[in-house]
């Protein structure tokens, strides 16, 4: 079986970058995660995940223009690569397949399910 | 104010700039700024600033830190894991070598650990006292321990450098009576009330400033307080001493063990003139002074000669009969002064001034030398075995090199291995040390406990020692093995120890040298001890029993004596103020001539039966008699004193103590040893003691009753004890036989001898372990050679000799080093004895050499014979 090396947080970040489409950079990813999952995270954790995903080839980045709200500093925009798309699809399919195999749980009555 | 006019904390920006890689800095900074401006809006400036700082700190990760690009971080740890694994495997594969290596090293380390414990303890003496660097003991002249009563107070008055002084006297034994119970306690002192200002004492109860101000006050240590007053508070209670009541005015914590001045109780001085006023000529006190901060002892010492001229001079002049101090000096009188000895040096450098602690800087040196020797031998074993094993591992080294190991990686590997062995040995040595701790305490005359052994400072020392040993012992094999040419190593061409045979043999020879040296020292120490034990003292010490504290009998003394004389086992008895072999004081005497000459003679008061009881012979004249009333101002001297005085005809000559106290010499007694045999027989003067113990005027001092006993000693002791108990209630019976008393004078030497025995035994044991393994290894290497020789026709005998003679040469080289060193060092040691053995006796040196040779032969020979008798076919077929 093909193995996709994608951690839980990495998967989340990858998904968010995909959602944000052309506007994915450190802050926007962090804020989107906060909005979508109500998780409080530090910006450095986001950076670290983005960097890892880039080194794995799931993301690519380019530097955008400078803006005033960043004290004249440029943004680094991320976009999902083909490999990243494949990885997302793979993980999703795998999850779906697994979900579908869960039998109808009948708590307490089915002696095998309770294990 | 728009949010963009605010600024994030400067330090955070600076810190980011400091650590962050320039490539990512802009992006991180940008994000941080963006967050900052948003937070200024929502959370306020203060929170935003704080969070900005926190963000920057969170970005401090290896990924973003400058200069960390080149570290291939995980690889090293993996390699170290591999080194460990290989080390464990090679240790387990060669069990025999590993066991010898580890056990030898742990023996050495255990010895070192104990000795380190001893040395650190010796060096820690008195350091717990506050301002110990400013506390000095005042010595009379260069090293006299007793000083005049007035010295302290006058010095403090005259010299601004001196902050505080205290006088002490002691240590003495005291018998306490508490609630009709008798306690005989040792280590008592009397002290001035300033005691606690010089010595650090922790008062559990009582006021330190007032505890010793009143006469008849006593301060007890907690230990003694709970003994005298179990289950009640000692503070404020009364104890009875010689009929006087003393009030307990303080209870202090027991003093630590590492002090030169160990006390159980401190009494105050009585308010009598000899204390409060005192004089300048009687030296009865120990004086300690604390200098003000910044004052040097030299500045005080420089002032003492004038001080002596001013205060002591007038008294001296009166005593010697000169008109003034200048004239006294001009006529050869000794100029007196006082010197300051640092208190923390008393224990090791001035043991005769230390109040009861038995330290000696030489012991520290000797113990250190022994530790170094033993550790050296163990390390040499370690090095030798590791290098000897190199052949077995040369293929491994070659393989690693071919696979791309750098040389320093190989060095690391072998160092890791040697460190592992040392750490294993360290753990073992801790166990060994705790097993032999009791024996060591006896050897070092100290009292260490397991907690001392496990103290963090000791463990830290041990661990650093292990690091050093591991690195030192491991470095040679490491560098040697890692230097192999990989191609030759893989082809098996690296002959075991090709180039290092010389070094290895040199190290073995050096081990032999150390062992032989230690055995020589042991033999000489014990011969000297035996020699002293057999030396004729001039009387029969085993027949003389001394009953102590007879001064307490007072008016019952004559009754006691009469009772004893009726016993059939007691031939005669004599009363004295000191007893032979105890410390006898010297008194100054002058001759009665136009130019009086001054002598210091050992002075002893005895009753007229002294000669008979001790079994001494008279050479000239007669002994004094208590029957003759005219014999009040007479004295008897020994032959040495006659020589010292230098009179042709000494009988009838007079010696003077000054002030009209003149004594006529009426007899000369044959020289006898009344002191340790370390000293030659010194001039002695015997003065008459009255039957009731009176020495001069109304001064009583008949403290010791010597009995000449025959028959069953144990029975006699019982008889005397029952007489004593019938007459004395408050004092336990105390006695000593003179041969025991003399023997106890050589306690230090006996310990010295034991130390050498133990250390030479240890050295030989460790060296033998190494030798055994080395021989096994050598034979393993030469198995084929021996087999071939045997096939061609060599006999078992000649084959054994082949190997054994190799090692015999090494013993010979070792003894060439050891004999001169031993001769030179032990001659130095013997020089401290007045009566010494003849060190030029060749047996003293031959026996150790022969002993070591035989041990070496046994170690090596056993294996050689085994190899030589084995079937040569087996050795030759194995290829």
- What pLDDT shows up at residue B427? 92
Q: Taking the CB of residue B534, how many other CB atoms lie within 10 A of it?
A: 7
The yes-or-no verdict on residue A114 having pLDDT over 50 is no
In degrees, rounded to 5, the angle at the alpha carbon of residue B368 between the alpha carbons of residues B364 and B372 is 175
Mean pLDDT, residues B321-334: 73
Choose the mutation target among B17, B19, B31, B54 for the interface with A, i.e. most A CBs under 10 Å.
B31
Q: Taking the CB of residue B414, how many other CB atoms lie within 10 A of it?
A: 24
**CA–CA dist B283, B261 (Å, integer):** 19
**CA–CA dist B416, B422 (Å, integer):** 10
Residue B247, strand partner residues: B217, B238
SS (H, E, C) B385-449: HHHHCHHHHHHHHHHHHHCCCCHHHHHHHHHHHHHHHHHHHHHHHHHHHHHCHHHHHHHHCCCCC
- The runs of H, that is alpha helices, within chain A are 8-20, 26-37, 43-56, 82-100
- What pLDDT shows up at residue B321? 66
The yes-or-no verdict on residue B51 having pLDDT over 70 is yes
Yes or no: say if B59 and A47 are a contact pair by the CB < 8 Å rule. yes
Cβ contacts (< 8 Å) between B63 and chain A: which residues? 48, 51
CB pairs under 8 A between A and B: 53
* Pairing state between β B203-205 and B283-291: unpaired
Residue contact B55–A71, C-beta within 8 A: no
What structural domains does chain A harbor? 8-100 (1.10.10.10)
Choose the mutation target among A44, A50, A62, A64 for the interface with B, i.e. most B CBs under 10 Å.
A44
Residue B624 burial (CB < 10 Å; 0-12/13-18/19+)?
buried
- What pLDDT shows up at residue B608? 87
Minimum mean pLDDT among A16-20, B365-369, B699-703, B825-829: which range?
Answer: B699-703
The yes-or-no verdict on residue B770 having pLDDT over 50 is yes
Cβ contacts (< 8 Å) between A70 and chain B: which residues? 30-31, 33-34
What confidence tens digit (pLDDT) does each residue in A56-107 have? 889 998 888 777 777 778 888 999 999 889 889 998 998 899 988 888 765 5
Count of alpha carbons within 13 angstroms of residue B554, beta-carbon side = 5
DSSP secondary structure, B832-857, as one string: T-SS---TT-THHHHHHHHHHHHHHH
The yes-or-no verdict on residue B69 having pLDDT over 70 is no
**Nearest CB to A74; choose among B26, B55, B58:** B26
Tell me which DSSP letter residue B285 carries: E
What confidence tens digit (pLDDT) does each residue in B717-731 have? 888 888 888 888 777
Q: How far is CA A32 from CA A18, A87, B490, in A?
A: 11, 21, 63
**CA–CA dist B816, B845 (Å, integer):** 11
Cβ contacts (< 8 Å) between B54 and chain A: which residues? 42
Confidence class for position A113, pLDDT limits 50, 70, 90: very low
**CA–CA dist B156, B728 (Å, integer):** 44
Residue of B nearest to A25 (CA): B31
The yes-or-no verdict on residue B392 having pLDDT over 80 is no
A70 and B CB contact within 8 Å: yes
Residue contact B32–A48, C-beta within 8 A: no
Residue of B nearest to A47 (CA): B28
**CA–CA dist B650, B648 (Å, integer):** 6
A95 and B CB contact within 8 Å: no
**B398 CB-near residues (< 8 Å, 6+ apart):** B484, B486, B487, B488, B489, B490
Residue B169: in which H helix or E strand, if any? strand B162-178
The yes-or-no verdict on residue B815 having pLDDT over 50 is yes
Yes or no: say if B134 and B296 are a contact pair by the CB < 8 Å rule. no
Residue contact B35–A74, C-beta within 8 A: no
Mean pLDDT, residues B248-264: 88
What confidence tens digit (pLDDT) does each residue in B650-692 have? 888 888 877 677 888 999 999 888 888 877 888 899 988 888 7
The yes-or-no verdict on residue B820 having pLDDT over 90 is yes
Average predicted confidence (pLDDT) for chain A: 83
- What pLDDT shows up at residue A1? 42
- What pLDDT shows up at residue B137? 92
Percent of chain A with pLDDT over 90: 13
**Nearest CB to A43; choose among B26, B31, B61:** B31
Q: How far is CA B489 from CA B87, B394, B824, in A?
A: 19, 5, 47
Q: How far is A88 from chain B (nearest CA, A)?
A: 26
Mean pLDDT, residues B275-284: 78
Residue contact B59–A47, C-beta within 8 A: yes
Cβ contacts (< 8 Å) between B4 and chain A: which residues? 68-69, 71
A25 and B CB contact within 8 Å: yes
Minimum mean pLDDT among B77-81, B128-132, B757-761: which range?
Answer: B77-81
Residue contact A71–B30, C-beta within 8 A: yes
**Nearest CB to B30; choose among A44, A51, A73:** A73
What confidence tens digit (pLDDT) does each residue in B421-465 have? 889 999 999 999 999 998 888 888 888 888 888 888 888 888 888
- The runs of H, that is alpha helices, within B267-389 are 273-276, 297-320, 325-330, 343-349, 361-388
DSSP secondary structure, B661-683, as one string: -EEEEEEEEPP---S-TTSPPPP
Of B63 and B682, more confident: B682
What confidence tens digit (pLDDT) does each residue in B610-636 have? 888 888 888 888 888 878 877 878 899
- What pLDDT shows up at residue B494? 54
**CA–CA dist B224, B204 (Å, integer):** 13
Residue of B nearest to A52 (CA): B63
Residue of A nearest to B57 (CA): A44
Q: How far is A49 from chain B (nearest CA, A)?
A: 12
In degrees, rounded to 5, the angle at the alpha carbon of residue B448 between the alpha carbons of residues B443 and B450 is 125
Residue B268: in which H helix or E strand, if any? strand B265-268
Residue of A nearest to B56 (CA): A44
The yes-or-no verdict on residue B5 having pLDDT over 80 is no
Residue of B nearest to A26 (CA): B31
Residue contact A76–B29, C-beta within 8 A: no
A47 and B CB contact within 8 Å: yes
Minimum mean pLDDT among B64-73, B386-395, B503-512: which range?
Answer: B64-73
- What pLDDT shows up at residue B185? 87
Average predicted confidence (pLDDT) for chain B: 84
Mean pLDDT, residues B867-872: 84
Of A111 and B364, more confident: B364
Q: Between B843-869 and B747-781, two packed helices, what is the crossing angle to 10 degrees?
A: 30
Q: How far is B1 from chain A (nearest CA, A)?
A: 15
Residue B226 burial (CB < 10 Å; 0-12/13-18/19+)?
middle
- What pLDDT shows up at residue A103? 81
Cβ contacts (< 8 Å) between B35 and chain A: which residues? 27, 43
Yes or no: say if B287 and B136 are a contact pair by the CB < 8 Å rule. no
A89 and B CB contact within 8 Å: no
Residue contact A73–B33, C-beta within 8 A: yes
Does the structure's ipTM exceed the value 0.85? no
- What pLDDT shows up at residue B2? 66
Cβ contacts (< 8 Å) between A25 and chain B: which residues? 31
Of B485 and B305, more confident: B305
Percent of chain B with pLDDT over 70: 96
Residue B43: in which H helix or E strand, if any? helix B22-43
> Is residue B677 reached through a cis peptide bond, with omega within 30 degrees of 0 on the bond before it?
no
What confidence tens digit (pLDDT) does each residue in B212-246 have? 888 889 999 999 999 888 888 888 888 888 788 89
**B680 CB-near residues (< 8 Å, 6+ apart):** B834, B835
Residue contact A43–B58, C-beta within 8 A: yes
């Amino acid at each position: 079986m093909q193995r996709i090396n994608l951690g839980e947080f990495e998967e989340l970040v990858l998904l968010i970058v995909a959602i944000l489409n052309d506007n994915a950079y450190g802050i926007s990813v962090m804020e989107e995660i906060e909005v979508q999952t109500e998780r409080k995270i530090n910006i450095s954790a986001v950076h670290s995940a983005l960097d890892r995903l880039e080194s794995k080839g799931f993301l690519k980045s380019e530097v955008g223009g400078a803006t005033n709200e960043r004290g004249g500093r440029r943004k680094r925009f991320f976009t999902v690569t083909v490999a990243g798309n494949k990885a997302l699809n793979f993980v999703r399919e795998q999850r779906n397949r697994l979900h579908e195999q869960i039998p109808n749980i009948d708590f307490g009555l089915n002696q095998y399910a309770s294990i | 104010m728009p949010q963009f006019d605010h600024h994030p904390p400067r330090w955070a920006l600076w810190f980011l700039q400091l650590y962050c890689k320039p490539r990512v800095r802009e992006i991180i900074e940008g994000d941080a700024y963006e967050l900052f401006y948003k937070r200024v809006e929502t959370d306020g400036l203060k929170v935003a600033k704080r969070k900005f700082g926190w963000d920057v700190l969170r970005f401090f990760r290896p990924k973003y830190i400058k200069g960390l690009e080149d570290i291939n971080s995980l690889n090293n740890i993996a390699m170290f894991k591999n080194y460990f694994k290989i080390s464990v495997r090679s240790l387990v594969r060669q069990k025999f070598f590993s066991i010898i290596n580890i056990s030898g090293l742990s023996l050495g380390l255990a010895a070192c650990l104990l000795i380190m414990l001893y040395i650190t303890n010796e060096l820690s003496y008195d350091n717990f006292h506050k301002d110990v660097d400013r506390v000095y003991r005042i010595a009379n002249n260069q090293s006299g321990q007793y000083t005049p009563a007035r010295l302290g107070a006058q010095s403090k008055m005259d010299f601004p450098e001196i902050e505080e002084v205290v006088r002490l006297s002691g240590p003495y034994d005291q018998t306490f009576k508490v609630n009709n119970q008798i306690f005989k306690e040792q280590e008592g002192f009397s002290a001035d009330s300033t005691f606690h200002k010089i010595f650090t004492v922790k008062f559990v109860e009582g006021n330190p400033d007032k505890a010793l101000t009143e006469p008849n006050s006593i301060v007890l240590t907690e230990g003694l307080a709970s003994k005298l007053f179990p289950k009640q508070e000692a503070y404020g209670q009364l104890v009875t001493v010689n009929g006087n009541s003393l009030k307990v005015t303080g209870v202090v914590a027991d003093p630590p063990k590492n002090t030169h001045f160990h006390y159980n109780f401190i009494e105050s001085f009585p308010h009598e003139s000899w204390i409060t006023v005192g004089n300048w000529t009687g030296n009865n006190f120990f004086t300690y002074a604390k200098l003000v901060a910044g004052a040097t002892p030299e500045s005080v010492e420089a002032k003492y000669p004038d001080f002596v001229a001013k205060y002591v001079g007038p008294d001296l002049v009166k005593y010697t009969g000169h008109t003034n101090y200048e004239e006294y000096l001009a006529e050869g009188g000794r100029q007196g002064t006082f010197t300051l000895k640092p208190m923390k040096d008393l224990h090791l450098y001035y043991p005769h001034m230390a109040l009861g602690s038995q330290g000696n800087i030489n012991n520290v040196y000797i113990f250190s030398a022994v530790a170094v020797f033993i550790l050296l031998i163990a390390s040499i074993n370690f090095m030798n075995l590791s290098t000897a094993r190199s052949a077995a591992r040369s293929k491994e080294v070659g393989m690693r090199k071919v696979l791309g190991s750098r040389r320093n990686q190989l060095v690391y590997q072998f160092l890791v291995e040697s460190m592992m062995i040392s750490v294993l040995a360290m753990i073992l040595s801790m166990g060994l040390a705790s097993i032999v701790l009791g024996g060591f305490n006896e050897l070092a005359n100290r009292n260490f406990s397991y907690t001392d052994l496990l103290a963090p400072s000791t463990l830290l020392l041990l661990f650093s020692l292990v690091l050093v040993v591991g690195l030192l012992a491991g470095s040679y094999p490491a560098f040697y093995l890692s230097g192999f040419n990989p191609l030759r190593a893989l082809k098996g061409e690296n002959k075991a120890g090709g180039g290092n045979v010389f070094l290895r043999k040199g190290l073995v020879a050096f081990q032999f040298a150390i062992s032989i040296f230690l055995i020589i020292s042991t033999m000489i120490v014990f011969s000297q001890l035996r020699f002293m034990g057999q030396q004729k003292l001039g009387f029969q010490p085993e027949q003389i029993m001394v009953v102590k504290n007879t001064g307490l009998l007072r008016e019952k003394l004559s009754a006691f004596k009469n009772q004893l004389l009726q016993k059939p086992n007691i031939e005669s008895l004599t009363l004295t103020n000191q007893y032979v072999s105890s410390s006898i004081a010297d008194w100054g005497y002058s001759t009665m001539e136009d130019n009086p000459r001054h002598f210091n003679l050992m002075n002893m008061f005895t009753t007229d039966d002294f000669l008979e009881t001790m079994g001494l012979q008279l050479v000239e004249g007669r002994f004094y008699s208590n029957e003759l009333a005219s014999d009040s101002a007479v004295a008897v001297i020994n032959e040495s004193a006659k020589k010292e005085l230098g009179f042709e005809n000494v009988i009838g000559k007079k010696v003077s103590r000054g002030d009209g106290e003149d004594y006529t010499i009426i007899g000369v007694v044959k020289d006898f040893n009344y002191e340790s045999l370390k000293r030659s027989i010194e001039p002695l003067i015997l003065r008459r003691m009255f039957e009731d113990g009176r020495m001069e005027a109304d001064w009583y001092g008949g403290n010791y009753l010597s009995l000449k006993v025959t028959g069953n000693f144990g029975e006699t002791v019982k008889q005397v004890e029952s007489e004593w108990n019938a007459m004395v209630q408050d004092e336990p019976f105390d006695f000593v036989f003179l041969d025991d008393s003399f023997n106890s004078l050589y306690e230090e030497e006996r310990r010295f001898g034991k130390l050498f025995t133990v250390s030479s035994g240890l050295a030989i044991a460790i060296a033998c372990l190494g030798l055994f393994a080395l021989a096994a290894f050598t034979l393993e290497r030469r198995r084929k050679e021996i087999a071939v020789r045997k096939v061609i026709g060599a006999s078992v005998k000649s084959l054994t000799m082949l190997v054994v003679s190799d090692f015999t040469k090494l013993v010979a080289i070792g003894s060439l080093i050891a004999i001169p060193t031993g001769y030179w060092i032990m001659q130095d040691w013997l020089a401290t004895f007045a009566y010494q053995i003849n060190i030029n006796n060749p047996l003293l040196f031959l026996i150790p050499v022969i002993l070591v040779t035989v041990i070496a032969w046994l170690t090596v020979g056993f294996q050689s014979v085994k190899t030589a008798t084995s079937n040569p076919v087996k050795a030759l077929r194995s290829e």
